[in-house]
């Protein structure tokens, strides 16, 4: 989706992927096959481009720093990525900027777990500092008996972990911010996200909460992206508590699933604004083109090909924008595509998107 | 733009181009370099794909027929292309279906020119039967003295030509029709096109004429596409005479410049509907998402690179959707990109699109 946005603006896109047959192959002029954990591969990519950017936060920031040292323009910067990709550092930066986060604590060894349980109470969360996503790398410690299981599940002897006090939330909010090198920002509408087994399932745009809450969420998200000197499109995930109190759950230094709806629903999508931001161009408007929008993820139901059953039924539903990612294979809960719909309100948009999404099935058919 | 639409639907796209560095390189999974006039190259492409389609009408229909003979699915069919790509045959098909066209006459040799001038009066039009576009391949014969010049300019001794009575028009209309294999059709709004030296310069959607005229134009366009058994998106260009009378000027058996606005302005673009049609999928809605839309072509002002001056200014204009084609080089009047804008009416949309278009300059800077 980033490639498509860049191509529309006349850019040439080179991509580094570990697979010669990756879905992005159809949206780039040059596909380099290699590992983003290899400095050599990254250097090869850097040699092909004017600006290097990321679509995930898993590239080691030290490698990015090495590229910057050789003169490559990397946006977001290695420093931003360093502070976001280590979730403990991320929490510290947010806390240092007086931004609300659930109480957290580094965990250097197993022996500290019990004391944390006493201090935070149960349940509390055990999290990997790096490489977690969609709930992977998190463990909910429900009682003292879970402590050993949690430590083993996340391999605490090998991985840096930290603990987080459970924040009882009613809803999850998210917001995309695109920020330029000069510090200009564009904030997209606050959306409500509904997860299914820790994976983003539904996005409602805009979120249907009082204006004061939406304004507070937007203000926090703007401050958060500034705290990391973020350049490009950044996702900010938040929890909304029962008293309307908001904490920041997690930052994503990249385009984000909660912003896919912006392709059809906003004047300038999160993808185009990411490209504009990293190229130093003026940002586009995040204004919505409809009163309501909704996005439903298409998740694999089981093992199978990447091509769904039901395409004719789904495309027969007027106003549903079907996106299929062209992945080679489906597996349980793998993101295989998404559907966006617009409407005169969020509910109507969601109905349309769900009808199309329900018509499509990946794997186990 | 076809590639981008196909990729969003999870398709893999293979392209045959005579250049390894063509703009479409960034929107396909496989680029075959070869000539679309070579049966071998076309066979290679046919071997890579489930369905073969065209983005211009210049591939010889006999070659397409040969591919069909070997079992390749070609849409539009070789037969449709044969009847459209020879403009004399095209006119005959339209006339046989009682559709209004300017009076025309085949020209077998130079000696017939003078008699045609007497019958049609001056000016009349001399046209190449094949491979004309954007006014290339046409000659306006303004007086008897022009006859030799016209014949030579179009190389009448080599090329099949025909003559057409001049139709005095006030406006030019165009309409896109997407038609499926089963004969289902979707008609896009009638648009007004404004040419600049025979090249589409501005498109206003919808055209601002009385409903009866728009309905008549739509009805004629539908009948015309059916007359050729068109499958895919077809453009129909029409002239609107001073008394509200309409004649069909030309058919395009493909996505068309007058339909580029549909990317942002319509629920399902001409490109997506072309892909849906040739794959046998249900067609999407052509409903407009705004009251008005306008498109302005970005034409080269002179020789230069394919990259414009003024990108920052153009992207700073809210609501202007800038499309740059990433062509290697600019030349006078070459189509380098386009700008679309939406608005609460056509006039407001056009203002936005023109502001952005005027900010961009290709070549001669």
pLDDT band for A1, please (50, 70, 90 cuts): very high
pLDDT of residue A362: 96
* pLDDT value at A285 more than 70: yes
- Both tokens assigned to B121: 């009066």
What is the DSSP annotation of A81-127?
Answer: HHHHHSHHHHHHHHHHTT-----EEEE-STTHHHHHHHHH-SSEEEE
**Set of chain B residues whose Cβ sits within 8 Å of the Cβ of A326:** 7, 10-12
**Set of chain B residues whose Cβ sits within 8 Å of the Cβ of A290:** 289
Q: In sequence order, which residues have a C-beta less than 8 Å from that of residue B358 and are 6 or more positions away?
A: none
Tokens 């840096």 sit at which residue?
A160
| 3-class DSSP assignment, residue B346 | helix
pLDDT band for B125, please (50, 70, 90 cuts): very high
Do A7 and B26 make contact, defined as CB atoms within 8 angstroms?
yes
| C-beta of residue A304 within 8 angstroms of C-beta of residue A323 | no
pLDDT of residue B365: 63
- Higher-pLDDT residue of A196, B65: B65
How many CB atoms are located within 10 Å of the residue A211 CB?
7
Residue ranges of B 271-290 with Cβ closer than 8 A to chain A: 276, 281-282, 284-285, 287, 289-290
CA distance A284 to A3: 17
Comparing CA positions, the residue from B99, B96, B52 lying closest to residue B76 is B52
pTM, two decimals, is 0.95
pLDDT of residue A136: 85
DSSP state of A175: E
- Higher-pLDDT residue of A40, B135: A40
Beta strands in B120-190 (DSSP E): 124-128, 138-141, 161-165, 171-179, 185-187
Q: Which residue of A has its CA nearest to B4?
A: A4
pLDDT tens digit sequence for A18-76: 999 999 999 999 999 999 999 999 999 999 999 999 999 999 999 999 999 999 999 99
pLDDT of residue A135: 76
| C-beta of residue A324 within 8 angstroms of C-beta of residue A359 | no
* Complex ipTM over 0.90: yes
pLDDT tens digit sequence for A168-207: 999 999 999 999 999 999 999 999 999 988 888 999 999 9
Average pLDDT, chain B: 96
Does B323 reach chain A within 8 Å, measured CB to CB?
yes
pLDDT of residue B197: 83
* pLDDT value at B135 more than 80: no
Do B10 and A289 make contact, defined as CB atoms within 8 angstroms?
no
pLDDT of residue A197: 83
**Set of chain A residues whose Cβ sits within 8 Å of the Cβ of B337:** 10
Average the pLDDT over B202-211 and give the result. Answer: 98
Average pLDDT, chain A: 96
Min Cα distance B23 → chain A (Å) is 8
Segment (H or E) for B278: helix B270-279
* pLDDT value at B8 more than 70: yes
Min Cα distance A3 → chain B (Å) is 8
Average the pLDDT over B7-22 and give the result. Answer: 96
pLDDT of residue A109: 87
CA distance B105 to A74: 63
Do A318 and B284 make contact, defined as CB atoms within 8 angstroms?
yes
| C-beta of residue A9 within 8 angstroms of C-beta of residue A62 | no
pLDDT tens digit sequence for A136-148: 889 999 999 999 9
Cα-Cα-Cα-Cα torsion B49, B51, B52, B55, nearest 10 degrees, comes to -120
Min Cα distance A351 → chain B (Å) is 17
* pLDDT value at A134 more than 80: no
Q: Which residue of B has its CA nearest to A7?
A: B26
Do A289 and B342 make contact, defined as CB atoms within 8 angstroms?
yes
pLDDT of residue A248: 98
**Between β-strands B335-343 and B320-324, what pairing exists: parallel, antiparallel or unpaired?**
antiparallel
Do B323 and A8 make contact, defined as CB atoms within 8 angstroms?
yes
- Residue A284 φ then ψ, to 5°: -90, 170
| C-beta of residue A170 within 8 angstroms of C-beta of residue A241 | yes
- Both tokens assigned to A347: 């509910």
Do B326 and A10 make contact, defined as CB atoms within 8 angstroms?
yes
How many CB atoms are located within 10 Å of the residue A218 CB?
18
């Amino acid at each position: 989706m980033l490639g498509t946005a860049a191509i529309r603006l006349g850019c040439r896109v080179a991509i580094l992927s570990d697979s010669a047959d990756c879905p992005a192959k159809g949206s780039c002029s040059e596909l380099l096959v290699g590992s983003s954990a290899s400095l050599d591969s990254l250097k090869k990519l850097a040699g092909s481009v004017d600006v290097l950017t990321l679509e995930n936060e898993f590239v080691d920031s030290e490698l990015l720093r090495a590229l910057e040292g050789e003169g490559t323009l990397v946006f977001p910067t290695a420093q931003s990525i360093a502070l976001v990709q280590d979730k403990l550092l991320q929490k510290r930066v947010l806390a240092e900027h007086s931004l609300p986060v659930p109480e957290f604590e580094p965990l250097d060894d197993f022996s500290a777990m019990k004391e944390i349980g006493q201090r935070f109470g149960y349940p509390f969360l055990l999290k990997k500092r790096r490489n977690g996503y969609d709930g992977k790398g998190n463990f909910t410690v429900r009682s003292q008996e879970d402590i050993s299981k949690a430590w083993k599940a996340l391999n605490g002897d090998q991985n840096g972990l930290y603990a987080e006090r459970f924040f009882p939330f009613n809803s999850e909010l998210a917001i995309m911010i695109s920020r330029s090198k000069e510090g200009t920002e564009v904030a997209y509408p606050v959306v409500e996200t509904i997860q299914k087994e820790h994976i983003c399932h539904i996005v409602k745009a805009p979120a249907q909460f009082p204006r004061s809450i939406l304004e507070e969420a937007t203000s926090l998200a703007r401050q958060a992206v500034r705290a990391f000197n973020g350049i490009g499109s950044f996702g900010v995930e938040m929890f909304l508590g029962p008293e309307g109190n908001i904490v920041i759950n997690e930052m994503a230094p990249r385009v984000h699933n909660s912003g896919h709806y912006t392709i059809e629903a906003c004047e300038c999508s999160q993808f185009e604004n990411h490209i504009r931001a990293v190229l130093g161009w003026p940002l586009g408007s995040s204004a919505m083109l409809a009163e309501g929008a909704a996005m439903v993820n298409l998740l694999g139901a089981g093992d199978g090909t990447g091509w769904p059953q039901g395409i004719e039924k789904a495309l027969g539903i007027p106003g549903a924008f079907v996106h299929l990612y062209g992945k080679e294979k489906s597996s349980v809960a793998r993101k295989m595509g998404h559907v966006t719909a617009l409407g005169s309100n969020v509910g109507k948009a969601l109905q349309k998107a769900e009808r199309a999404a329900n018509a499509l099935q990946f794997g186990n058919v």
